[in-house]
């Protein structure tokens, strides 16, 4: 059973990769029956052959199957030949991808020398954005489309002649003035920007095309890729998809954001190749990408999930499931974080940050912090032999007599438990919070089906999404939890998140929950950094600068700060950012507030302090707590 309005995957309830056409990129095939390919991008100056070759080797040795290289102009495009020849002499046959912006002639040269060229519809023909309004259907609009044809068709013919593949890569931050005038900065505009190019490719019978639509906002990225796949289906297209969250940042935050956005699409079978964009050395991206692909691929052949009618599902726009409030959960409350410590050994019980809910056995209460004024204590009913202590809430299993209890209750259940008998019990007891668990290896599909069924039954009880992980490695746990649960919050489901693990400290599980909610755009509890990975266009030390800015501003809860290497996507990708720090030239930085240029071409050594002054001048600064 499928919602035909937005048909973007084969099933909402069974993991199955979308069928796409195979595209050859040198000795690698993307799409078709091929495995999901992982790749990265060099951060070196493309004219520095030795440095670019060295970094390409590091990427390939880490398991990268394609290497992308920034190609600003004709000189950089011509030097791709030397880079390719050097790699071949060293026995490295990894396909190279030229990353071209603003310069169709550089794309034409690259198409003759290496295996693939990435072009951006937002700046391939129109140059830098001028932020002009262009009336839909006007002569200027028609001329803009004709200009695309005049520059794209010769490029495609060059690619066909040299068996060169292309990637049409749309970025949220670099839509053309034509598209912005018609659609605004929207998923519909991003998709149409891509489709204009695809239709010309089909007219030219050029099929070696890979597509990407990226954003630093995971919600925008996921909804837009789904819409693109749907639109392609309407026009009988099946090009392979490249996945990525742009400007994801570094460290834990960058990995969580990437796992949420990329994982949400992989779980629905979308994605033939991917890049995890981190503000770190590019070879660091590969293990994260490979781990994500490996984890999602294990969901194949999972136990069946009973299908339900997805009539209320909104996959291409955010619509939050409406719930009623019980205690401090649901309704208009922020999405809560819960800690289930029932399986946690005493030595791992740490509470550097308190969650809204702690779930425990009665004999664990004495191990908890004393200051729990804002935390609801939920005690497992079976373990409470001496009655419930004042201020605690009982937790029942679904088959117990919870519906006769006087007062609010928590009830743990799975999707198969949502039968007519239990639905009637829920109707009779409104002050019930559900703790939704899953034993299915595709817990995401099963829990999504639960929410769809709740909506179909007209049940508005708040639900805390539960996940149990036995990983001993913190990064593995975080990657899996973010991939599994992020999709549900992106789709408007869930009033809380509870991650249970017997091998990770409670404090780390709580912090991971907060991180996933922030990456999923439903709750902001710390500074949001939109930080690009850097490339050959970056003219300052992006990694060190990002670390410096994060160290000085990470206490500014809810503020969004963009740290961008250059202006190619910088201004546009700051759509969500309150403040922007953008490379303007060698040793020069420009500062933005809400996309507006405030200070231009500041010396790099002064720029971080000037950024702080700017934040203070608009009243967004608070001093850190010592």
Contact 187, 214 (CB under 8 A): no
Query: Parallel, antiparallel, or unpaired: how do β-strands 23-25 and 28-30 relate?
Result: antiparallel
Please spell the DSSP secondary structure of 502-518, one letter per residue: SSS-HHHHHHHHHHHHH
Contact 37, 28 (CB under 8 A): yes
360 annotated binding-site participant: no
3-state DSSP of 8-20: CCCCCCCCCCCCC
**DSSP H or E run through 162:** helix 139-162
Residue 552 φ/ψ, nearest 5 degrees: -85, -20
9 annotated binding-site participant: no
316 annotated binding-site participant: no
What whole-number distance in Å separates Cα of residue 382 and Cα of residue 411? Answer: 12
Please spell the DSSP secondary structure of 167-226, one letter per residue: EEEEETT---HHHHHHH-SSHHHHHHHHHHHHHHHHHTT---EEEEEEBSSHHHHHHHHH
| Strand, helix or coil for residue 558 | coil
The 10 Å CB-count burial string (b at 16+, else e) for 193-213 is bbbbbbebbeebebebbbbbb
Tell the residue number behind the tokens 């029942």, with chain if given: 396
Please spell the DSSP secondary structure of 353-411, one letter per residue: S--SEEEE-GGGGGGS-S--TTSEEEEEGGG-TT-PPTTEEEEEETTSSGGG-SS-EEE
3-state DSSP of 283-337: HHHHHHHHHHHHHHHCCCCCCCCCCCCCCCCCCCCCCCCCCCCECCECCCCCCEE
Residue 26 φ/ψ, nearest 5 degrees: 60, -125
The four Cα atoms 450, 453, 455, 459 give a dihedral, to 10 degrees, of: -80
532 annotated binding-site participant: yes
Binding residues are 532, 535, 566, 573
Binding residues for [4Fe-4S] cluster are 532, 535, 566, 573
């Amino acid at each position: 059973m499928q919602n035909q309005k937005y048909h973007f995957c084969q099933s909402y309830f069974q993991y199955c990769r979308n069928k796409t056409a195979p595209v050859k990129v040198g000795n690698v095939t993307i799409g078709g029956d091929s495995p999901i390919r992982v790749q990265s991008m060099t951060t070196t100056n493309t004219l520095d052959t030795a440095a670019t070759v060295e970094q390409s080797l590091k990427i390939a040795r880490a398991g990268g199957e394609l290497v992308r290289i920034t190609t600003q102009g004709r000189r950089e495009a011509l030097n791709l030949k030397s880079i390719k020849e050097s790699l071949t002499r060293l026995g490295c046959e990894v396909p190279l991808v030229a990353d071209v912006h603003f310069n169709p002639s550089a794309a034409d040269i690259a198409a003759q020398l290496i295996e693939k060229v990435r072009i951006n519809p937002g700046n391939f023909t129109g140059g830098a954005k001028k932020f002009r309004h262009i009336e839909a259907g006007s002569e200027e609009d028609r001329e803009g489309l004709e200009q695309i044809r005049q520059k794209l068709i010769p490029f495609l013919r060059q690619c066909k002649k040299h068996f060169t593949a292309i990637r049409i890569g749309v970025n949220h931050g670099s839509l053309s003035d034509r598209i912005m005038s018609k659609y605004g900065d929207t998923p519909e505009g991003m998709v149409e920007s891509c489709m204009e190019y695809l239709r010309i490719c089909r007219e030219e019978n050029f099929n070696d095309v890979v597509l990407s639509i990226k954003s630093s906002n995971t919600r925008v990225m996921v909804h837009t890729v789904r819409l693109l796949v749907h639109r392609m289906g309407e026009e009988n297209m099946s090009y392979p998809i490249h996945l990525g969250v742009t400007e994801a940042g570094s460290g834990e935050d960058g990995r969580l954001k990437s796992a949420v956005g990329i994982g949400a699409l992989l779980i629905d079978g979308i994605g033939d190749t991917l890049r995890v964009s981190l503000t770190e050395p590019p070879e660091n991206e590969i293990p994260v990408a490979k781990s994500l692909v490996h984890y999602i691929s294990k969901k194949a052949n999972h136990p069946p999930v009973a299908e339900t009618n997805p009539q209320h599902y909104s996959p291409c726009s955010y619509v939050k499931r409406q719930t009623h409030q019980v205690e401090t959960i649901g309704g208009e409350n922020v999405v809560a974080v819960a800690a289930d410590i029932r399986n946690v050994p005493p030595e791992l019980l740490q509470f550097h940050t308190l969650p809204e809910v702690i779930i425990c056995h009665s004999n664990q209460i004495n191990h908890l912090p004393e200051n729990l004024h804002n935390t609801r204590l939920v005690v497992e009913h079976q373990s409470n032999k001496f009655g419930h202590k004042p201020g605690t809430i009982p937790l029942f299993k679904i088959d117990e007599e919870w519906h006769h209890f006087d007062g609010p209750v928590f009830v743990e259940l799975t999707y198969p438990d949502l039968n007519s008998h239990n639905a009637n019990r829920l109707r009779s007891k409104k002050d019930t919070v559900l703790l939704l668990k899953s034993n299915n290896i595709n817990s995401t599909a099963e829990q999504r089906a639960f929410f769809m069924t709740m909506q179909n039954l007209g049940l508005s009880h708040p639900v805390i999404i539960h996940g149990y992980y036995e990983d001993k490695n913190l990064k593995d746990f975080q990657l899996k939890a973010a991939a599994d649960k992020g999709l549900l919050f992106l789709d408007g489901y869930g009033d809380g998140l509870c991650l249970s693990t017997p091998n990770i400290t409670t404090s780390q599980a709580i912090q991971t929950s907060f991180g996933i909610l922030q990456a999923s755009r439903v709750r902001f509890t710390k500074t949001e950094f939109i930080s690009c990975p850097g490339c050959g266009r970056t003219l300052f030390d992006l990694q060190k600068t990002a670390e410096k800015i994060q160290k000085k501003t990470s206490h500014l809860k809810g503020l969004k700060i963009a740290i961008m290497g250059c202006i190619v996507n910088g201004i546009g990708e700051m759509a969500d950012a309150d403040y922007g720090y953008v490379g303007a030239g060698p040793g020069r930085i420009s500062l933005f507030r809400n996309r507006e240029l405030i200070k231009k071409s500041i010396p790099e050594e002064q720029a971080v302090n000037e950024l702080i002054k700017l934040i203070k001048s608009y009243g967004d600064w608070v001093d850190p707590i010592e």
